[in-house]
Amino acid sequence: MKKNTVLISAAAAVLLTACGTGSSEAEMQYIKTSVLYDTLSDMYQNPDAYLGKQFHIVGTLYPSTDHDGETFYSVYAEETRGGHGIGLELDWNDFSGFTDYETVTVEGTLDKEKGNHDGEEIQYLILRVSKLEKRDS
């Protein structure tokens, strides 16, 4: 009887440990404004390290227009050393009430999406937004 109890306890411990490791991926990752540019750059260079994780980001709401004339929005950061900025496209259904180039707080999960660019199918990173709010500058 003791042997079965020990085996069941060991199996339960393994299951709890396995469940515990999965929950850490669900934790919110807070990206400070001072490192946003570098973090977004690293996301594009090493997407597998970031995919599926949740992020809390403060940045600029940046409008862009695709080849079909459709507007899409990104959370955008300026390079601290000058030069071009970088953005991460936002998957959110309603940007009404927001003003282009205002500072926003956005939370969401990083994912990949397939699309068409100049007749070629591509994959790109997108933030599946769960929360988008205006932020006092």
Query: What are the structural domain ranges in the chain?
Result: 27-134
- Rounded to 5 degrees, φ, ψ at 77 are -135, 140
Measure the CA–CA gap between 104 and 60, rounded to whole angstroms.
6
Measure the CA–CA gap between 137 and 129, rounded to whole angstroms.
21
Low-confidence spans in the chain with pLDDT less than 50: 1-24
Task: Select from 102, 108, 107 the least CA-distant residue to 60.
Answer: 102
SS3 107: strand
pLDDT at 81: 79
Residue 29's contacts (CB-CB under 8 Å, 6 or more residues apart) are: 53, 54, 55, 56
CATH number of 27-134: 2.40.50.140
pLDDT tens sequence across 65-98:
988 888 999 999 998 777 789 999 999 999 999 9
Q: How is residue 32 written in tokens?
A: 């400070």
pLDDT at 84: 87
- Which sign does the torsion angle of CA 105, 32, 42, 60 carry? positive
